[in-house]
Structure 1
Amino acid sequence: MLDEELRASTQDGAYPRPQLVRSEWLDLSGEWDFAFDEDVEVDARVGTPAEFGRTIVVPYPPESPLSGVHETGHHPVVWYRRRVEAAEVAGAGHASGRVLLLHFGAVDYRADVWIDGRHVGAHEGGHTPFTVEVPAGDGGFEIVVRAEDDPRDFSQPRGKQDWRVAPHSIWYHRTTGIWQPVWIESVPRQHVTRVAWRPDIDGECVHLAFEVAQKPVAPTRARVTLRHGEQQLAEVTVALASTREEVSISLPVVGTEQGYDELLWTPERPVLIDARIELLTDGTADPADTSDAASSYFGLRSVGTVGERFLLNDRPYFVRGVLSQGYWPQSHLAAPSPEALRAEVELIKELGFNTARLHQKLEDPRLLYWADRLGLLLWVEMPSAYEFSDTSVTRLTREWTDAVRRDSSHPSVVAWVPINESWAVRNLAVDARQRDFIRSLYHLTKALDGTRPVISNDGWEHTQSDLLTLHDYENDHEVLGARYGTREAIETSLEGMSPFGKRVLVGTAAEAEATASAPALLTEFGGVSFTPDADVDAWGYRLVGTPEDLDRHLSGIFGALDASTGLAGWVYTQLTDTVQETNGLTDENRVPKLPVERLRAIIRGTA
């Protein structure tokens, strides 16, 4: 059973699935046996290698230094093997009558899993989690994983991972295979598999949808208890009739002035509500085998728009955002440690930003947890494929659906971006099929989660979007100010070709009218490159030579946008240097290029 004192809102950030937490689990990170496909002979009897000649440190991709392999060439197929000992299984709290689950945070791109030579599951999608059940046995067991990630398959959603051997332009080294935690978890046969929270501030309630492992065969109840600190806010019990149930939990305290001020989540005051969910099954010989308990959390907040303004909790909120690639030199897309995810959120806030646009990456859920807990708005963006085909449409739609379902309960997430800059749909201005695709993604996202703005195609060539987002790397602050200083100036870019050479609106007349009247944000600008290392192959949209030049240049372009009366916010490119892209406000090791106090003053408009 779950420890009564375990609160999801104050966890330490190590648990890989922060909004459905149990105490009986074990992280399997560390050394695994490893092989590239071209180096092994596959045993035809079980379909797995007979020998493994290397070791790798999971969850770091083999291209990265921290993996211990550090080979950046093309290796489309990789293999992993790990023996889980009986003592480790017992240490995860597993016992007879319970189910042992093996979870994978993310394996890029296609994975097959064997346990003791038996194929137990497969998954496609390099950025979303999956789970297999460990067959019942006498204790320990052996895991074998085959991951396939073809660098030249442009129908795979891949984000900024390069298809060439070496990084070029704005693309980086690949992240192949396991790159998020692998862990085992012991659960009762009947257990909660998913929770989804949807706050309703105006209705003074929160809606909970949850799923369980199997249809109840005996009378089963779910008891949900909500707490803020030591104050119990609500408790409800609902009978389960199927594998999915929904319940609305009344929170009348939200309707009071004191409750409204104390309980609503904002970046400045990130209040989280703890939840405990218990499944209680009646009439069984051993209730411990069939009762489950887990902890979760949510934030009470609303997101919307009115006129030309972005709203948080029905109040105008100016977006001061930064583009975050989520890439580390020593571990690539994988975080070097759980602590690094907290440090990333702390760094963004310390620099003066209130928002991060997670660019071309579905982030580790533990980063979303720290954004929830510490107070940072997030835009979630789907990694792009690089061709338009039936296969790419199917793959991206399926993985985006999984991503929205996974992340929709995080209060920090305030916008969805299924497509960026027409990547994989480069002809959508003239191709009706491509317009239908991004239109369908917009409406699919609204159907899955109608509580947040959706941007059909961030940057330009919108069909219908809830925010009018524009990208412009003009680095003359006077020109930038003239283009975006007023709403009237912004609207001149909506007719014909914009200053950045793209049409802004490509939808129907009704879609164009809706998008043109939405709040406008400049969601990529800047890209100023500075590095004191003359040997670095530096790349950026504007190069400057000294820290003093960087200060003057940033002051000019940020100041021009702060003076705008027509923008609802902006997103600067970018947070950190990434491989050859040296246009970060910090270097690749997160060291700021100007004093933090000075950067914060520029970003906050107090310089």
Structure 2
Amino acid sequence: MTCRPEYPRPQFVRDAWMSLNGTWEFRMDDKNAGLAEKWYENGEFDRTIEVPFCYQSPLSGIGETEFHDVVWYRRTVRLPREAAGKRAILHFGAVDYDAEVWVDGRLVCSHEGGNASFSADVTDALEEGTDEHTIVVRAQDYFEDLALPRGKQYWKEKGEVMWFRNMTGIWQTVWLEFAAPVHLSRVRFTPHLDTNEIEIETRIEGLAKEARAELAVEISFAGKTIARERIEAGALETRRVNLKDFNDHGFGRWWSPEKPNLYDVEFVLSADGTVTDRVTSYFGMRKISIENGKVCLNNKPYPMKLVLDQGYYHDGILTAPSDEAIRLDVELCKQMGFNGMRKHQMVADPRYLYWCDKLGVLVWGEAANAYAYSEDYAYRMTKEWGEIIRRDYNHPCIVAWVPLNESWGVPDMLIDPKQRNHAMALYHFTKSVDSTRLVLSNDGWEHCLSDLCTVHDYTRDRGTLLERYADLERILNDMPGRKFVYAPGYRYNGEPIMVTEFGGANLRRHEESPVVRPCAEDEEQFLKQVVDVIHPMVVSGLVQGYCYTQLTDTETEICGLLTWDRKPKIPLDVIRRINEGELVEHL
């Protein structure tokens, strides 16, 4: 049975595709000899691996934690009948960290960045006269490079404290799709809630110079056609479509966690009177903004009640074992009374964002950060961050971008203007390519310019939290720890205040989980600790949202509301009642 067989890109769907997940040949290259010996042509591969799981994970079939900086993959594929006469496009959801790809012995692409997707049109590399073709991938990681954007992956072989084991190589779906020479390559949706319009930008590949094609766009809701457009299209077109059925007097079709309304879209591309491509997609009409000092969703004040999600699975590390497992996390979030998740120190799988779109969960999109700063890091980070935003732009669930967290990658923000400039550059770059979402320069402390004032506070005393979050001056000037809320040269300007990390109560429920202190003795004590930290946030007149740490346990942490195998430590409805402001005293 193929691992993770579901369609990997729900925002842009074609019928002609094939998953390349499953068993690949595999080899470790500790001497880094593969390039010189041309393993991409005739190398001997001595192991197998289950893609898309990294070799460090049990689900890969290997499960070794020793460092191997360079690994190779090989698989022979037979193209299906529907590939005839079409372009073959090879996609990688993510490969950590550097990747080189050969098809039939020819280099087709290389990519740097462990969290961004990439693809290549490999048609011209396919050897003629055969339906079977060989794909070879070389992946190189840099385990001890602390300036590498890596998130929670540790630089030692065994995880500890808050880090878990490293990942190397392919860790998201690999797949082929087949498209006509003239085809749609990208779609970008921008909702304009106040004018009832959806802005659609399309890019077409394969058009001859000065040539035009016709693009038919049909938008529907719940099976009913809402709008049709026929566009004489060039390579790049932008068009606004009015959704005339729209109002918001309780009957509207805006997207929110309470009503995750989605519009379906079909694109049909024709060239010289012949249909060459058909793609389906979807979008949600929603607006996130700050009005009169309030965080608003669809022009109404909206308290965000988030839970921190590190996307960790005991058997897959950051690769979910199944699509059902991804959906379960989203459902559990909602059942606990949270309306959103902060995807922490990793980039979400598109299937995760799809389920958040469909079921109604807000998402804060975050990068996997480095620990040390260097000019090489700055180049790496900026490039990969742009690729991440471009890929995930269309998901209505994403309402905020967080390129930096707690000064990771910029540890000397307080004294180094270069690092402050990097944080500001990421903020302005993000704003320059996406004006529709909230953006933070550095979540948690040492803000430069950010759309929100976010603080991290792991104080556990209810009385202290009640007093602190009823007083603006105490929030800004009396925070625990060694960090200032604002970096030198920047100050609070009335931004909405959110507590985006807090809680962290520990309860150990698995013998193989680490021993962490302090730790609750039982469920009743754990319940009290959860109430003590969430209740002050709910009743504060100043806090407009919060993010509880965290959804699940990980390899090295036991502060989840759920165990790493998604078993609740206290009943889900009890957590929901706490999020609603109830002082729950007993289970």
If the length of structure 2 is used for normalisation, what is the TM-score?
0.94
Q: Is 1:18 the equivalent of 2:10?
A: yes
Give the Cα–Cα distance (whole angstroms) in 1 for the partners of residues 36 and 70 of structure 2.
17
Q: State the one-letter code of the partner of 1:313.
A: N
Alpha-carbon distance change, 565 to 180 in structure 1, aligned in 2, over 3 angstroms: same
**Contact 1:378/1:414 (8 A) holds in 2:** yes
1:261 paired with 2:267, answer no
For 1:401 and 1:98, the matched residues in 2 are separated by 29
Matched, 1:377 2:362: yes
1:492 to 458, 474, 487: 474
Deviations 1:447-497 (A, max 9, x none): 11011110110000001111110000001111111111x2xx1333324x6
Paired residues of 1:41 and 1:51 also in contact (CA < 8 A): no
Q: Report the residue type matching 1:65 in the other structure.
A: P
Give the stretch that moved more between structures: 274-283 or 77-86: 274-283
Cα shift readout 1:364-419 (whole Å, capped 9, x = no counterpart) = 00100000000000000111012111100000000111111111111100000000
Matching residue within 27, 47, 61 for 1:35 = 27
Aligned-partner residue type, residue 520 of structure 1: I
Classify the secondary structure of the residue corresponding to 2:439.
coil
**Partner Cα separation in structure 2 for residue 130 and residue 71 of structure 1:** 27
Which residue matches 1:345?
330
What residue in structure 2 maps to residue 7 of structure 1? none
Q: Distance in 2 between matches of 1:31 and 1:375?
A: 35
Which residue in 2 is equivalent to 1:131? 119
Alignment partner, residue 454 of structure 1: 439
CA 1:383/1:426 → structure 2, altered by over 3 Å: closer, same or farther? same
Q: Does 1:140 align with 2:132?
A: yes
Local SS of the residue matching 1:23? coil
SS at match of 1:402: helix
Judging changes above 3 Å, is the alpha-carbon distance between structure 1 residues 594 and 52 closer, same or farther for their aligned structure 2 residues?
Answer: same
Question: Aligned partners of 1:537 and 1:100: how far apart in 2?
Answer: 47
> Which digits, 9 at most, give the CA deviation of each residue in 1:9-65, with x for residues without a partner?
xxx992111111011111111110001112896374645362000000000010000
* Matches of 1:590 and 1:383, distance apart in 2: 23
Offset at residue 440 of structure 1 (A): 0.7
Q: Which amino acid aligns with 1:265?
A: W
Q: Distance in 2 between matches of 1:479 and 1:17?
A: 46
Q: Per-residue CA shift, 1:101-140, capped at 9, x if unaligned?
A: 1111100111000111111111111111111222343312
Q: Which residue of 2 aligns with 1:153?
A: 145
Q: Secondary structure at the match of 2:325?
A: helix
Matched, 1:94 2:83: yes
SS at match of 2:252: helix
Asked if structure 2 preserves the Cα contact closer than 8 Å seen for 1:46 and 1:118, the reply is no
Distance in 1, Cα, partners of 2:375 & 2:36: 33
Contact 1:216 1:240 in 2 (8 A): no
Equivalent of residue 85 in structure 1, options 64, 78, 89 = 78
2:244 corresponds in structure 1 to: 252
5+ residue gaps, structure 2: none
> Which one of the candidate residues 484, 500, 522 is aligned to 1:523?
500
Matches within 5 A, 1:199-598: 199-217=191-209, 218-241=211-234, 243-254=235-246, 256-257=247-248, 261-282=251-272, 287=274, 291-484=276-469, 486=470, 489-495=471-477, 498-506=479-487, 508=489, 511-514=490-493, 517-533=494-510, 536-539=513-516, 542-598=518-574
- Write the letter of the residue equivalent to 2:233: L
Q: Using the alignment, how far apart are the partners of 2:315 and 2:5 within structure 1?
A: 20
Q: Identify unmatched segments of 5+ residues in structure 1.
A: 1-11
Q: How far 1:342 sits from its partner (Å)?
A: 1.0
Please give the alpha-carbon distance, in whole angstroms, between the structure 1 residues aligned to 2:319 and 2:514: 24
Distance in structure 1 (CA, Å) of the matches to 2:406 and 2:412: 11
- Pick which of 362-371 and 299-308 moved more: 299-308
> Cα distance 1:507–1:231, how it changes in 2: closer, same or farther (>3 A)?
farther
> Is this contact kept in 2: 1:353–1:604, CA < 8 A?
no
Q: Which residue of 2 aligns with 1:8?
A: none
Q: Which amino acid aligns with 1:483?
A: R
**Paired amino acid for 2:71:** V
Q: Could you tell me whether the CA contact under 8 Å between 2:30 and 2:69 is conserved in 1? A: no
Contact 1:308-1:568 within 8 A present in 2 as well: no
SS at structure 1 position matched to 2:142: coil
Which residue number in structure 1 is paired with residue 66 of structure 2? 73
Structure 2 letter corresponding to 1:530: L
TM-score normalised by structure 1 residue count: 0.91
Tell me, what secondary structure is at the counterpart of 2:481?
coil
Other-structure match for 1:64: 57
Aligned partners of 1:13 and 1:366 also within 8 Å: no
* Paired AA for residue 150 in structure 1: Y
The code of the aligned residue for 1:586 comes to: L
State whether residues 193 and 287 of structure 2, in contact with CA within 8 Å, keep that contact through their aligned partners in structure 1: yes
Kept in 2, the 8 Å contact 1:530–1:545? The answer is yes
Aligned residue identity for 2:110: A
Deviation of 1:535 (Å): 6.4
Residue range with higher mean Cα deviation, 61-70 or 222-231 = 222-231
| 1:238-282 deviation digits (Å, cap 9, x = unpaired) | 2223x322111112222x456x73310110110000011121111
Deviation, 1:293, is 1.0
In 1, Cα distance between equivalents of 2:511 and 2:242: 61
What residue identity is the alignment partner of 1:101?
I
Residue type at the aligned position of 1:130: F
Report the Cα distance in structure 1 between the residues aligned to 2:200 and 2:184, rounded to whole angstroms.
13
Distance 2:516 2:430 in 1: 35
How far apart are residue 191 of structure 1 and its match? 1.1
Write the deviation string for residues 399-447 of structure 1: whole angstroms up to 9, x where unpaired.
1111111111111000000000001111112211111110111110011
Give the counterpart letter for 1:270 in structure 2.
P
Structure 1 contact 13–370 (Cα < 8 Å) conserved = no
Shift of 1:237: 2.1
Counterpart of 2:194 in 1: which secondary structure? coil
**Cα distance in structure 2, aligned partners of 1:19 and 1:406:** 10
Q: Identify the range of structure 1 (423-432 vs 457-466) with the bigger mean alpha-carbon deviation.
A: 423-432
